[in-house]
């Protein structure tokens, strides 16, 4: 397939840090599209725990086989998501829906994005049930309190996360 015919999709997010819920969505998206660009948003208003570079590096570690196969790449962006999507030649943006509580905000964002750029669709995917109650912020809370995070993040990332959390005082 020629490069211009590849159906590229963007999966944007804070990924602070990436969880198995995010990875589940990436894998589902890579079945539907030719290439998934996991795009870390550089939005300092969200005050992420991990720097942009750290968040990218963790994604690269977690998605090593998918990146090697050419199905997935990791990037970062700032500014309007839909403008970035057009620059990347993407046909759609993926968002994950865990529960009804995600819906209202995601619906609003999807329609606003369509208003900004009608060429980019938003596609919602649901993760495996195991991840429907998992979020990056809950994961950080559990780590801070020394809880068990097995099955929620790739094991290769656990020491990195524990180190960072122990060095970062609570806000
Ligand atoms: P954002 O700040 O853009 O919401 P997140 O990293 O929190 O960034 O989430 C990125 C996307 O991944 C969002 O669409 C979110 O709904 C989805 N997501 C987050 N956690 C999960 C999960 N456990 N299962 C499925 N999707 C998830």
pLDDT in tens, 104-137: 999 999 999 999 999 999 999 999 999 999 999 9
What is this structure's pTM? 0.95
Residues labelled as active-site residues: 22, 46, 98, 136
DSSP E strand boundaries for 14-171: 35-41, 72-77, 90-96, 121-125
Question: In terms of Cα–Cα distance, which of 142, 23, 2, 150 is closest to 94?
Answer: 23
pLDDT per position as a tens digit, 9-18 = 999 999 999 9
Residue ID of nearest Cα to ligand 1 atom 20: 135
- Nearest atom of ligand 1 to the alpha carbon of 131: 23
Query: Rounded mean pLDDT of 41-70?
Result: 94
More confident residue, 78 or 2: 78
DSSP E strand boundaries for 14-135: 35-41, 72-77, 90-96, 121-125
Res 170 pLDDT > 70: no
pLDDT at position 45 = 80
Confidence band of 42 (pLDDT split at 50, 70, 90): very high
pLDDT at position 31 = 97
Distance CA 126, CA 95 (A): 9
Rounded to the nearest 10°, the torsion over CA 152, 136, 155, 41 is 130
Ligand 1 test: best mutation among 16, 24, 25, 124, most atoms within 8 Å of CB? Answer: 25
Confidence band of 1 (pLDDT split at 50, 70, 90): low
**H or E stretch at 9:** strand 8-13
**Token match 């990791």: residue?**
74
Query: Rounded mean pLDDT of 40-62?
Result: 93
Question: In terms of Cα–Cα distance, which of 124, 85, 129 is closest to 105?
Answer: 124
Residues at CB less than 6 angstroms from ligand 1: 13-15, 19, 21-22, 25, 95-96, 98, 102, 127, 131, 134-136
pLDDT at position 2 = 53
Residues 6+ apart with CB under 8 A from 67: 60, 73, 74
Report how far ligand 1's centroid is from the alpha carbon of 26 (Å): 11
Confidence band of 168 (pLDDT split at 50, 70, 90): confident
* Token pair for 162: 């524990």
């Amino acid at each position: 397939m020629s490069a211009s015919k590849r159906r590229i999709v963007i999966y944007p997010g804070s990924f602070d840090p990436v969880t198995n819920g995010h990875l589940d969505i990436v894998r589902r998206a890579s079945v539907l599209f030719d290439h998934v660009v996991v795009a870390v948003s550089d939005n300092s208003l969200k005050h992420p725990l991990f720097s942009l570079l750290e968040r990218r590096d963790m994604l690269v570690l977690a998605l090593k086989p998918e990146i090697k196969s050419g199905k997935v790449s990791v990037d970062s962006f700032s500014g309007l998501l839909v403008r970035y999507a057009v620059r990347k030649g993407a046909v759609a943006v993926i968002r994950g829906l865990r529960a009804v509580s995600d819906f209202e905000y995601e619906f609003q964002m999807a329609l606003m994005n369509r208003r900004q750029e009608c060429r980019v669709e938003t596609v919602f995917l649901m993760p495996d049930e195991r991840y429907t109650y998992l979020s990056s912020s809950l994961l950080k809370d559990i780590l801070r309190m020394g809880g068990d995070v097995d099955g929620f993040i790739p094991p290769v990332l656990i020491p990195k996360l524990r180190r960072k959390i122990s060095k970062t005082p609570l806000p």
